């Protein structure tokens, strides 16, 4: 068996959903769309930690505009495979967003509850406008509608890891997005 076909044991519970090339192509397209829509401005990109950090890094490099970056930490999963619905801010923004055009960058919108909480929270900080970019959306789990202005991929109701997404703090470093089907 060629070395490229050998799957390390820690990856054996993950089936590839989107490979690295497919993700890179989609991120480039999103970057062009965001560049067009925010042309003439200097948007503030807010990455939601921890899951969006890989997507965030690739996306900001795909946008041809002067922009600023900040991060907010939010958790609703803990070490589980389903959102608890209880949102916790684990790290707040480092600067004011008052009067700014804001793009919230998320890894996945599942139930919509976490994003709804965040958008309501950010709105109290009086930005000029807020738009949402998410790498993944799982519409089958939607419990509350949230605006998605830029979408990478719509996915089935499955637990996914890789490209920044994790299960119990593992699998973030996979270069692809895969469905996790291992022990929980």
pLDDT at 80: 57
pLDDT in tens, 109-152: 999 999 999 999 999 999 999 999 999 999 999 999 999 999 99
pLDDT at 35 over 70: yes
pLDDT at 109: 95
Task: Decide the pairing of beta strands 177-180 and 160-161.
Answer: antiparallel
Strand ranges, E, within 76-180 = 88-91, 101-109, 129-137, 150-154, 160-161, 177-180
| Domains in the chain, number | 1
Residue given tokens 């119990």 in the structure block = 168
Domain that holds residue 64: 3-180
Catalytic residue numbers?
A: 110
Strand ranges, E, within 34-137 = 44-49, 68-75, 88-91, 101-109, 129-137
- Identify the CATH number of the domain in which residue 145 sits: 3.40.50.2020
pLDDT at 77 over 90: no
pLDDT at 7: 56
The strand pairing partners of 148, in sequence order, are none
């Amino acid at each position: 068996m060629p070395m490229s076909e050998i799957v390390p044991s820690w990856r054996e519970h993950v089936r590839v959903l989107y490979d690295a090339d497919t993700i890179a192509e989609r991120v480039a397209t999103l970057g062009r769309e965001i560049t067009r829509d925010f042309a003439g401005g200097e948007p503030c990109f807010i990455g939601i930690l921890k899951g969006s950090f890989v997507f965030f890094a690739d996306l900001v490099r795909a946008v041809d505009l002067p922009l600023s970056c900040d991060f907010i930490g939010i958790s609703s999963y803990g070490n589980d495979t389903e959102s608890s619905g209880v949102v916790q801010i684990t790290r707040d923004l480092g600067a004011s967003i008052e009067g700014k055009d804001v793009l919230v960058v998320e890894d996945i919108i599942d139930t919509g509850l976490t994003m709804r909480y965040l958008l309501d929270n950010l709105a109290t900080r009086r930005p000029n406008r807020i738009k949402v970019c998410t790498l993944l959306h799982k519409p089958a789990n939607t419990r509350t509608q949230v605006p998605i202005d830029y979408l990478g991929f719509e996915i089935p109701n499955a637990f996914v890891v890789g490209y920044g997404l994790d299960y119990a703090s593992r699998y973030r470093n996979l270069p692809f997005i895969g469905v996790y089907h291992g022990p929980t």
